[in-house]
Structure 1
Amino acid sequence: MKVLVVGANGKIGRQVVNMLEESDTHSVTAFVRKEEQVEELKQKGIEAYLGNLEGPVTDLEEAVKGMDAVVFSAGSGGSTGADKTLLIDLDGAIKVMEAAQNVGVNRFVMVSAFGANNREGWSRDMRPYYVAKHYADKALEQSGLEYTIVRPGGLLDEPAKDKIKVAGNLEISESDEKTVPREDVAKVIVTSLDNEKTYRKAFDLVTGEQSIEEALNQL
């Protein structure tokens, strides 16, 4: 499967790219926004595409053309304002969906946020971010694409535990794990690509007790 990773320079995106590059069954093209990122990836032997999510859909079609799947893990980042969040996390995501539809690429994996589907749980400080994720997810669900939406809990920069818990709406008690290593999120994304149990599913993701394969197969 030929996979375009949008947001390939992010903390999750980089790990997804590396896993796909090492895979025997997938190949990867990294979508990045800076020339130096392209050069760095090419030095590692990784295909890269220089693009801009704020540009026209026709430009994004060139990136998506020839792919079998798209992974969208791009984000404006915590240091930008609500305007960039809407332009990247919402409009950028929808433009990539439109590009995929226009060139006939049907498989689309979205990295969202835990609880993005539940307005009542959104923190006031993060509301613009959750609004962007919520409506990007809705657009993907209504797009007709073969989607998977992964909504991870608090993201950790630590080694994978290879044990997860997933559900369409996870009920988290005070004693439950509310976080997940980014490496586990990346593994879930890569595993989901050709696991039909994840097709047309949206789910919360935290550290749990099941193996990744076992948890995803129960969706």
Structure 2
Amino acid sequence: MKTKVLILGAGGAIAQHVIGFLQDNKDIELTFFVRNASHFSANQTLGTHLIEGDVLNEQDLDRAIKGQDIVYANLAGEVDKMATAITATMKRKGVKRLIFVTSLGVHNEVAGKFGEWNNRIIGAELVRYSKATKIVEASGLDYTVVRPSWLTDKDETDYETTQKNEPFRGTEVSRKAVGAYIAAIILDPARDSKASVGVNKPGVYGDKPDFY
């Protein structure tokens, strides 16, 4: 039986990489959820579905989540409200596995000068991402919170991970590498269950990303 995977925010760059890693896997059935189908560029293949809707619209979300095995959310904006809506709908529909992308810094886990720089640059956004992270962690679902470092478009898949109680040091990671990590969880849903996981490129440490 195929594993049914819903991708919320399927038009995003990381999600596009996840789709690329999974779309030819015959054991996976993908559903793409997007706000505007006309702007969606992923190739639809046999075994994929497309839903146009709004995550904060209860009927749209109900329709999308019903019958899924895994929900992967890669969203921006009112992510705290979205986390509340997604977790509530999943519990109502009996769907347990959630992968939810937030940000480095939500646990105040980025130490030293890099942490100070990160908080100065994205501190306002971290408030919502931190709230969303707490909502997911308190949901009772089988979740993985994914906390990527500063993102690049490099064509590479190298990454290392840290857990919630470990310092976050790496200053960058490619979107493709984050996509590879998320695809690996989808293929092995027991991986990093009930965990908040930092994702960064190995060996790239400093006071801020080199590209900034």
Q: Which of 168, 183, 190 is residue 190 of structure 1 equivalent to?
A: 183
Map residues 13-24 of structure 1 onto 2, 5 A cutoff: 13-24=15-26
In the TM superposition, residue 169 of structure 1 has moved relative to its aligned partner by: 4.1
Alignment of 1:33-112 (within 5 A): 33-37=35-39, 40-41=41-42, 46-55=48-57, 57-75=58-76, 85=77, 87=78, 89-112=79-102
- Specify which of 132, 144, 149 is matched with residue 148 of structure 1: 144
Q: Which has the higher helix share?
A: 1
Partner deviation per Cα, 1:94-143 (whole Å, 9 max, x = no partner): 21121111111100001111121118846244223111111111111111
Could you say which residue in structure 1 is the equivalent of 2:202? Answer: 208
> In the alignment, what sits opposite 2:209?
none
What is the CA distance between 1:43 and its match in structure 2?
Answer: 5.5
Which amino acid letter does the alignment assign opposite residue 193 of structure 2? Y
Residues of 2 paired with 1:178 and 1:118: CA distance? Answer: 15
Change (3 A) 1:160 1:169: farther
SS in 2 for 1:131: helix
1:17-40 Cα deviation digits (max 9, x unpaired) = 2222122332211100013146x5
Determine which of 167, 173, 195 is the counterpart of 1:171: 167
TM-score between both structures, scaled by the size of structure 1: 0.79
Of 104, 115, 121, which aligns to 2:105?
Answer: 115
| Residue aligned with 1:13, SS | helix
CA contact (8 A) 1:64 1:99 kept: yes
Output the TM-score relative to the length of structure 2: 0.81
* Number of residue pairs aligned between Structure 1 and Structure 2: 193
CA contact (8 A) 1:148 1:202 kept: yes
Alignment CA distance shift 1:172-1:182 (3 Å)? same
User: Which residues of structure 2 form unaligned runs of 5+?
Assistant: 204-212
Q: 1:158 aligns with which of 154, 159, 170?
A: 154
Which amino acid counterpart does residue 99 of structure 1 have in structure 2?
A: T
Tell me: CA distance 1:17–1:172, structure 2 relative to 1, closer, same or farther (3 Å): closer
Quote the offset at 1:48 in angstroms. 0.7
Output one character per residue of 1:143-172: Cα deviation in whole Å (capped at 9) or x when no partner.
111000110101110112334243324435
- How far has the Cα of 1:42 moved from its partner? 6.8
- RMSD between aligned residues: 2.2
Q: Deviations over 1:53-98 (max 9, x none)?
A: 232x2331111011101000011xxxxxxxxx3x3x2112221121
Letter in 1 for 2:7: V
The one-letter code matched in structure 1 to 2:62 is E
